[in-house]
Structure 1
């Protein structure tokens, strides 16, 4: 079923409070809500079978780009400075547990040795929200699913594709939703 006017699920309270405290730009909050919403749907469809930590995936999706608060140019331009900056911001400045802060640093690094299933799901949500199919990432998730189901890889990939196909088809309304938010907050009349 295609949603024509997406209203993404609310962010976890802890993540929402953090973004408010950091004065996160509206476009960033919208993006994080959309990726969180897709992650929620992925974890509902696959998380139990994969033995994924539901709360970890959802927190990771809701905060994966938090480093863009420090690198707002990466809201409208490609860049990776936000990754380590986000992890450090969560760990050092906010005291977030390393298990939760890791997603900010690994969401674009799914080929790292020892990457967790939770990190793969956050990475996948960060791609599929905009309709991008990332074959090497999907292969890794399908491999985990095949192992969990004890089935051939091709069967697991077909099952994963049944989940990802509809999510990718809904990308247009999600992209429009995100674009409806300003990249940076409006300047107040008193700001220089």
Structure 2
């Protein structure tokens, strides 16, 4: 069982660069589920990147409409199924994806929010929404991983919304993703400071 003190520390400690707290009621849910401190740290890092990314999009591309609450909740809970599949905290696996959605639904969260636990790795699905793409992008950029096909899908949404050429939309997105990736080392260090058990 994870240490409650380490979990609370991962959820609440101030770090540089500053990581925002997870949205309510996610911290309480992670505590109830006895989540691993490393999982809490990871969710906090991805949520913070999603916050920065959506803040930029809201200012730079106001024509791109999306559900901000859903994106931030999705980023804050996308890997919650790893509570049930802890081996996937340090190794490969996708069993946490459907398990996470089921877990969130069982705790009373609506399908529009619970879905990200399942969809965060399915951004190639033709039915992926802009919200799905934003959560997936945050889940990559937090550790400075660039995924050209994913970024291309998000760029297409930005270009359509703004009426700009694809390459123009990509240049502005690329600048933002590069800036976010530049602070990946501190986020990785924050996450690795916490145990998986």
TM-score, normalised on structure 2? 0.89
How much is the aligned-residue C-alpha RMSD, in angstroms? 1.1
Of 46, 59, 68 in structure 1, the residue corresponding to residue 73 of structure 2 is 59
1:170-185 to 2 correspondence within 5 Å?
170-184=183-197
**Aligned residue number for residue 131 of structure 1:** 144
Consecutive aligned runs of 4 or more in structure 1 exceeding 3 Å deviation: none
> For 1:39 and 1:65, how far apart are their aligned partners in 2?
14
Distance 1:16 1:124 in 2: 22
2:25 is paired with a residue whose SS is helix
Q: Which moved more, 1:29-38 or 1:50-59?
A: 50-59
CA distance in 2, matches of 1:98, 1:147: 27
- Asked if 1:7 is matched to 2:7, the reply is no
Q: What are the superposed Cα offsets for residues 151-192 of structure 1, whole Å, 9 maximum, x if unpaired?
A: 1000000010011001111111110110001111xxxxxxxx
TM-score (norm 1): 0.91
1:23 positional shift: 1.1
CA contact (8 A) 1:90 1:96 kept: yes
What secondary structure does 2:133 align onto? helix
Match of 2:131 in 1: 118
Cα distance in structure 1, aligned partners of 2:135 and 2:78: 8
Q: Counterpart in 2 of 1:187?
A: none
Question: C-alpha separation between the residues in 1 aligned to 2:30 and 2:63?
Answer: 31
Pairing 1:148-159 to 2, within 5 Å after superposition: 148-159=161-172
Structure 2 residue runs without a partner (length 5+) = 1-14
In the TM superposition, what is the alpha-carbon distance from 1:15 to its structure 2 partner?
1.3
**Matching of residue 22 in structure 1 with residue 36 in structure 2:** no
